């Protein structure tokens, strides 16, 4: 308990420099950049995945043959 009280005394409104400082700014900017890059990468991945699914569906339809309709394929 004594250690917690000593640590708590170092922080708070009585402290002269109650600002986060350059390290906090660096960490925040770094996290924002990482999140933006992750979002861009995931959007690119999802877009490619959608195109791949469309290509595979078209290939499956072509392999079924032009005479067979999707409704007939469901019955078999």
Report if residue 52 sits inside a domain.
yes
In a domain, 56, yes or no: yes
**pTM for this prediction:** 0.49
The pLDDT profile of the chain, 76 residues, written as one tens digit per residue, is 666 666 656 555 555 555 667 888 899 999 999 999 999 999 999 988 888 888 889 888 888 876 655 555 555 5
The total number of structural domains that make up the chain: 1
Query: C-alpha distances in angstroms, 44 versus 33, 39, 49, 58?
Result: 17, 9, 9, 21
Token pair recorded at residue 47: 């877009």
Please name the residues in contact with 73: beta carbons below 8 A apart, sequence gap of 6 or more.
64
Which residue range is the domain that position 45 belongs to? 20-65
């Amino acid at each position: 308990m004594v250690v917690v009280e000593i640590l708590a005394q170092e922080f708070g409104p009585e402290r002269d420099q109650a600002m986060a400082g350059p390290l906090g700014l660096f960490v925040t900017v770094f996290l924002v950049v990482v999140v933006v890059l992750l979002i861009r990468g995931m959007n690119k991945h999802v877009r490619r995945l959608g195109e791949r699914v469309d290509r595979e569906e078209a290939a499956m339809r072509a392999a079924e043959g032009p005479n067979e309709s999707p409704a007939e394929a469901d019955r078999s």
